[in-house]
Structure 1
Amino acid sequence: MKIFCLSLLLIIFLPLVIPATDNTNLVYKGCAKQDLSDPNGVYSSSLSAIFGALIQQSSKSKFYKTTSGSVSGLFQCRGDLSNVDCYTCVSRLPILMNKLCGKTVAARIQLLGCYMLYEVSGFAQISGMEMLYKTCGRSNAGNGFQERRDAAFSSLESVVGSGNGGFYTTSYENVYVLGQCQGDLGASDCGNCVKSAVQRAQVECGTSVSGQVYLHRCFVSYNYYANGHKDPYSSPSSSSSYSSSPSSSTSGSNPGRTVAIILGGAAGVGFIIVVLLIARKAMKKDDDY
C-alpha cells in the first residue's frame, strides 16, 4: 500500500517540474587547436579551481574573472538574468567545455544566457574587436526596416557603456536591440566595441529581420517583431531571447488569464492536499495491521 501511495505522489508531482529555459542553449564554441600538455596534472588542478570559483561567484554576480597558477578564466551572464538563472547557466559550462573542446590551451563556450572562457598563460591574444560569431535571420523585412533598425542602434550606441554596467536594451518601432560588453571593459572601450559590432551587424546581416554579432569583448543583437508581436520565423535558433527584456515588452497583461492560472493553481494544490490526506490514512491503516 505504501508503494502504491508513493507511486501516486510521484505521478502527481512530476508534471509540476518546470523545464529549463533556453538560456542554456548553445550558441557557439571556440576551441584552441593546441592540446594542453599536462603530464603532472598541474593545469588540470588549476582549471578545476577556476571552474569552482566561477560557478560559486555566478550565484551573486553577473561577471567574474580569476586566475589560478598559470591559467586565467572568466564568466559573464546576460545583464537581464536573475542570479538563479545566471548560476544555472554558468554551472553547465565546465561540462560543455570538456565535452566540446576536450583539453586545449584555451576554450570559450557561449550559451544564450552566458559564456565562459579560460586561457593558459602565453596563449596568443586577439583584438577585442575580433568577430567570433554572427548569425542572421531571414531577409525582406519591408520598406523602412533598415532605417528603423539603425535608429534603434543609434539609441543603443549613445547609452551603452555610460555608467550602466555595459548592458542596455532599447527599441524603436518594433525593432528591439540589445548590447553588452565584457564586465571589465571601460566605458570608452565598451562604446567603441559596441559601435564596431553594430557596424558588423549592419553589413553582415543587411535586411535580415534579426541578427547577432559576437566580438571578443562585446556583442549586439536585434530583432524585428511585425505588428509588435514576436515572429517565430524572424531569427534562427532562439536568438530572440537576447532582445526580450522587461523594459522592451510591448504586450499588456491579461487579467483573465492571470485569474485562470491562479484558480487552476489553487485547485491543483487542493487536490494534492486531499490525496496526501488519503495516503496518510491508508498508510496509518497499513501500520495498524
Structure 2
Amino acid sequence: MGYASKPFSFFLFSLIFCTNLELIPLAESASDYTALVYKGCAKQSFTDPTGAYSQAISALYGSLVSQSTKARFSKTTSGSGQTTISGLFQCRGDLTNSECYTCVSKLPQLAESLCGKTIAARVQLLGCYILYEVSGFAQISGMELLYKTCGATNVAGSGFEERRDTALSVLENGVVSGHGFYTTSYQAMYVLGQCEGDLGDSDCGECTKTAVQKAQVECGNAISGQIYLHKCFISYSYYPNGVPTRSTSSSSSSSSSSSSSSGGTTGKTVAIILGGAAGVGFLVICLLFARSLLKKHDGKYGYI
C-alpha cells in the first residue's frame, strides 16, 4: 500500500483549536467527561476495495467498547496480514465502569466522522480516548507532545507559581505510587495525571515529569492547563476560592478513592464533619427559635 515508508504523523497533533479556551474543570459536572478535547488523524487514507479494513476496524471497535464495561484500559488487534489493525482505549482513572462505557461507546462514531478512513487516528475526550493504527506505521516517542491547552486567564503574584509547582511535584510522585493514575488538591490547586495503562511505573514517572516541565513552560502563569503526551497526560486548575466539590459520580469510584492523596481525603472528611456539625447547629437554633414562637401561641397551635 506504500504507506510503511512514511512516518506516522498526526500532524504532530497540532490541532490546537482550543488553545485559548478556559480549561473545563473536572469538578463541575458529571457529563463533561464526554466532551471532545482533540483529534489526531493520519494524513493518508486507506483504499478498501474488498472491505477488509472496514471489517477489521469494526471488529476492533466492537471489542474495545465491550471491554470498557469491565476495564479502564484495553489493547487488541483485528484483521490479518496487511489489514492487521491494533488499537486501544483508556478511561480516566476516576470514572466508574458505567461512565467508562458511556465515554468509550461514543468514540468509534467520532473517530469515523472526524478522521474518516485514515490509516491511524486518535480521539481524546475529557474522560477517555481511543486510538488505532494499521500495521506498518513507525512509532512516535511516548514523550512527544500531542496537544496542549492553557487557560486564558493569567495569575500574577500570590505565590501562584510556588503552589502550582509544589502541586505538580506531588503529582509526579503520586502517579508513580498510584501505578499510573493520581489526583489531589493542594492549596487551591487541583491536579490530575494518568499514564497509558501498560506503562511501567518508572516510565510513567519520566513521562509525567516531562509533561510537568512542558506545562510550566507552555502555560506559564495560566490559571489552568492540560498537557497530553503520547503516553501520559496531566492537568491542573487553580481555584482562588478553594477547589469545588467534585461530582458524586466521580468521587464514588473506587479508583478515585484509592488514588487520591491522604491529605485530600482527610480534607474532604474534615469538611464533611464540619459541614455536618454546622448543619446540626443550625437545626438546633431553628428549633429553639420555633419553640420560643410557639410558646407565645401555645393555645392556638398546641405543638409544644
The TM tier, using the shorter chain, reads 0.7 to 0.9
Equivalent in the alignment of 1:80 = 94
From 138, 153, 170, the equivalent of 2:168 is: 153
Please name the residue that 1:92 is paired with: 106
Match 1:117 to one of 107, 128, 131: 131
8 Å contact from structure 2 (residues 185, 243) kept in 1 = no
Q: Is the 8 A contact 1:166 1:183 kept in 2?
A: yes
Match in the other structure for 2:66: 56
CA distance in 1, matches of 2:179, 2:170: 16
Of the three residues 209, 222, 230, the one matched with 1:195 is: 209
> Which runs of structure 2 are paired with 1:126-275 in the superposition (5 Å)?
126-137=140-151, 138-162=153-177, 164-230=178-244, 247=260, 248=264, 252-253=271-272
Question: Do 2:115 and 2:121's aligned partners in 1 also have CA atoms closer than 8 Å?
Answer: yes
TM-score, length-scaled by structure 1 = 0.74
Deviation at 1:141, TM superposition (A): 4.6
Secondary structure of the residue aligned to 2:227 is strand
In the alignment, the residues of structure 1 paired with residue 156 and residue 238 of structure 2 have an alpha-carbon distance, to the nearest angstrom, of 8
Q: Would the aligned equivalents of 2:190 and 2:243 in 1 still touch at CA under 8 Å?
A: no
Deviation at 1:142? 3.2
Cα deviation 1:189-247 (Å, max 9, x = unaligned): 100000000000000000011100000000000011112144xxxxxxxxxx9xxx664
1:36 aligns with 2:38: no
Conservation of the 8 A alpha-carbon contact between 1:141 and 1:209: no
* Alpha-carbon contact 1:141-1:208 (below 8 Å) kept: no
For the residue of structure 2 that corresponds to 1:192, the secondary structure is: helix
Higher relative contact order (CA 8 A, sep 6+): 2
Give the deviation of 1:143 after TM superposition: 2.5
In structure 2, the gaps of 5 or more residues are 1-28, 245-249, 251-255, 280-304
Q: Distance in 1 between matches of 2:173 and 2:98?
A: 30
Q: Distance in 1 between matches of 2:32 and 2:136?
A: 35
Letter in 2 for 1:58: S
Identity, in percent, stands at: 66
Given that 1:139 and 1:209 are in contact with CA atoms closer than 8 Å, whether structure 2 keeps it comes out as yes
Contact 1:161–1:181 (8 Å) recurs in 2: no
3-state DSSP of counterpart to 2:49: coil
In the TM superposition, residue 20 of structure 1 has moved relative to its aligned partner by 7.0
For residues 240-262 of structure 1, what are the alpha-carbon distances to aligned partners after superposition, in whole Å with 9 as ceiling and x for unaligned?
Answer: x9xxx664586745666xxxxxx
Residue of structure 1 equivalent to 2:298: none
Unaligned runs of 5+ in 1: 1-18, 231-240, 257-289
Q: SS of 1:79's equivalent?
A: coil
The two structures, once aligned, show a CA RMSD in angstroms of 2.3
The offset of 1:124, in angstroms, is 2.5
Q: Secondary structure at the match of 2:33?
A: helix
Instruction: Give the aligned length.
Output: 227
Counterpart-to-counterpart distance in 1, 2:39 and 2:222: 23
* C-alpha distance after superposition, 1:46-97 (max 9, x if no partner): 1111100000000100000000121001000000000000000000000000
Instruction: Tell me if the contact between 1:29 and 1:110 (Cα under 8 Å) persists in the aligned partners.
Output: yes
Partner in structure 2 of residue 282 of structure 1: none
